[in-house]
């Protein structure tokens, strides 16, 4: 199934060809029409390995208590006959008519301002293409309100970019894990660790906090493997969490016992930098060169300033900003920046390997290491170090 999804998303414009073997061990070529097929996959955990996840728009399902009550209220109204059927619902009929019109032709879309679009993080090469697809989708949905060139290509506007940007930021924030590839449970676990300010914790400590079983908490951290695929956990996805294999000694009924214990260290600063919400913005238009249909000819009034002098960068993207980048309110309505600010942001977005800071006041944590080929383990019962 995973290979089928990879082929369908990699060759979206063509029918999917799947090679398999019959019961007689003969090669069979299966063609899965139609082309341009959109896949909707609903699953609590990850839908596949990291390659499959990297091809998908990762959107979480709202499993809050408020949503549960809303669904229950809707079911009651349906059973009471207060909700019209799909065949009589005006909204459903309008949507069906819209899709019939959209399917009449395959429309090409051009993004004239694509050269001015910048990303706070571009290490994932699929995410920029996804943003461009979102812009094109919104332009096609509004093709009757868009201009066309001599070839009939739909010309997208600034409104298409604004809509796509809002959706792109949302699936990188509170409603999805597009950049981090975290599931909702994994994101909730890391948010809980952050809120409790846990620098070192065990599986049982996290289990008591989350209210999950030991097995579920273990799979959140380590991932799991079944007969179909391998699913990564927090340890493989989040670089701020590390595993410490320690030997713990405790006294039970006067007898000293030793056992192995897994501890997990958490670097809060590293986590904030890694989980900061991705953002996209437009460079200021120079001499009206990339006209997108909405910007004024002077190239500056659309951002709220005369002559283009007041273009601003969202606070989460400026290096002098005091706002935390992973706070939703850090993203302002303005999506323009100047050349100098763009260079500052690009310089900061370069990935680096950071060493863990060590201070004299850092409290000792349960750990294990090898010095000269000899295992060194921390004994917590007697607070002793044994070599």
Q: 265-324, pLDDT tens digit by residue?
A: 999 999 988 888 778 899 887 665 554 444 444 444 433 433 444 444 444 444 444 444
Percent of the chain with pLDDT over 70: 71
Q: Is the pLDDT of residue 383 over 50?
A: no
Verify that 189 and 269 share a domain, yes or no: yes
Identify the domain containing residue 28 by its residue range: 2-39
* Report field, pTM of the whole predicted structure over 0.85: no
Verify that 121 and 227 share a domain, yes or no: no
- pLDDT, tens digit (0-9, with 9 covering 90-100), for 195-228: 999 999 999 999 998 888 999 999 999 988 877 7
Q: Tell me which of 108, 142, 170 is where a domain ends.
A: 170
Q: What is the mean pLDDT of the chain?
A: 75
Verify that 143 and 219 share a domain, yes or no: no
Q: Does residue 119 fall inside a structural domain?
A: yes
What is the Cα–Cα distance from 139 to 31, expressed in whole angstroms?
A: 31
Q: How many degrees, rounded to 5, is the angle at CA 122 between CA 121 and CA 123?
A: 100
Q: At what angle do helices 158-170 and 126-141 cross, to 10 degrees?
A: 130
DSSP state letters, 57-119: --------HHHHHHHHHHHHHHHTT-S--TTT-HHHHHHHHHHHHHTT----EE-TTGGGEEE
Verify that 263 and 371 share a domain, yes or no: yes
The pLDDT of residue 289 is: 52
Q: Is the pLDDT of residue 243 over 90?
A: yes
The encoded tokens of residue 70 equal 């809303």
Q: Does residue 287 fall inside a structural domain?
A: no
The encoded tokens of residue 345 equal 């942001």
What is the Cα–Cα distance from 124 to 325, expressed in whole angstroms?
A: 19
The pLDDT of residue 47 is: 65
Length of the chain: 387
Order of strands, sheet of 368-371, starting from the edge strand that comes earlier in the sequence: 368-371, 374-379, 384-386
Verify that 208 and 147 share a domain, yes or no: no
Helix (H, G, I), strand (E, B) or coil at 386: strand
Is the CB of residue 135 less than 8 Å from the CB of residue 111? yes
The pLDDT of residue 343 is: 52
Lowest mean pLDDT among 79-93, 310-324, 337-351: 310-324
Q: Tell me which of 170, 205, 227 is where a domain ends.
A: 170
Verify that 115 and 194 share a domain, yes or no: no
The encoded tokens of residue 372 equal 């000269």
Verify that 22 and 144 share a domain, yes or no: no
Verify that 256 and 107 share a domain, yes or no: no
Verify that 156 and 133 share a domain, yes or no: yes
Average pLDDT value for residue range 189-199: 92
What is the Cα–Cα distance from 130 to 38, expressed in whole angstroms?
A: 14
The pLDDT of residue 152 is: 92
Q: Does residue 299 fall inside a structural domain?
A: no
The pLDDT of residue 239 is: 93
Pairing of strands 241-252, 255-266: antiparallel
Residue 349 to residues 169, 279, 330, Cα–Cα distance (Å): 17, 11, 17
Verify that 204 and 155 share a domain, yes or no: no
Average pLDDT value for residue range 44-73: 81
The DSSP bridge partners found for residue 264 are 201, 243
Exposed, middle or buried, 310 (CB in 10 Å: 0-12/13-18/19+)?
middle
Based on the structure, what is the number of domains in the chain?
Answer: 3
Verify that 166 and 192 share a domain, yes or no: no
What is the Cα–Cα distance from 49 to 229, expressed in whole angstroms?
A: 7
Verify that 202 and 252 share a domain, yes or no: yes
Please confirm whether the linkage preceding 34 is cis (ω < 30° from 0).
yes
């Amino acid at each position: 199934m995973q290979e089928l999804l990879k082929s369908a998303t990699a060759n979206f414009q063509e029918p999917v060809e799947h090679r398999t073997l019959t019961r007689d061990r003969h090669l069979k070529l299966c063609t899965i029409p139609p082309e341009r097929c959109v896949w909707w996959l609903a699953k609590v955990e990850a839908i596949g390995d990291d390659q499959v996840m990297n091809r998908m728009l990762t959107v979480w399902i709202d499993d809050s208590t408020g949503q549960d009550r809303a669904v229950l209220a809707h079911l009651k109204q349906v059973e009471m006959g207060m909700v019209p059927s799909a065949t009589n619902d005006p909204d459903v009929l309008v949507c069906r008519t819209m899709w019939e019109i959209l399917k009449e032709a395959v429309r090409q879309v051009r993004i004239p301002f694509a050269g001015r679009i910048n990303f706070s993080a571009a290490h994932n090469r699929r995410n920029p293409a996804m943003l461009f697809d979102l812009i094109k989708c919104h332009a096609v949905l509004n093709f009757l309100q868009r201009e066309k060139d001599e070839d009939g290509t739909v010309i997208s506007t600034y409104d298409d970019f604004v809509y796509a940007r809002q959706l792109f930021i949302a699936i990188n924030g509170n409603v999805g894990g597009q950049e981090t590839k975290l599931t909702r449970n994994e994101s909730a676990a890391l948010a809980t660790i952050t809120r409790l300010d846990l620098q070192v914790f065990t599986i049982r400590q996290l289990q008591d906090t989350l209210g999950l079983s030991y097995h579920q908490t273990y799979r959140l951290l380590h991932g799991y493997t079944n007969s179909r695929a391998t699913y990564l956990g927090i340890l493989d996805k989040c670089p701020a969490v590390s595993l410490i294999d320690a030997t713990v000694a405790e006294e039970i009924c006067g007898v000293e016992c030793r056992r192995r214990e897994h501890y997990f260290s958490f670097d809060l600063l590293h986590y904030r930098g890694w989980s900061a919400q991705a953002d996209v913005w437009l460079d200021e238009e120079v001499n009206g060169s990339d006209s997108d249909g909405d910007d004024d000819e002077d190239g500056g009034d659309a951002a709220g300033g005369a002559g283009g002098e007041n273009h601003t960068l969202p606070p989460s993207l400026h290096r002098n900003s005091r706002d935390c980048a992973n706070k939703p309110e850090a993203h302002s309505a303005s999506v323009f920046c100047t050349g100098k600010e763009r260079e500052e942001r690009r310089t900061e977005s370069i990935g680096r390997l950071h060493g863990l800071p060590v201070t004299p006041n850092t409290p000792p944590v349960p750990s294990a290491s090898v010095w000269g080929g000899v295992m060194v383990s921390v004994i917590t019962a007697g607070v002793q170090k044994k070599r």
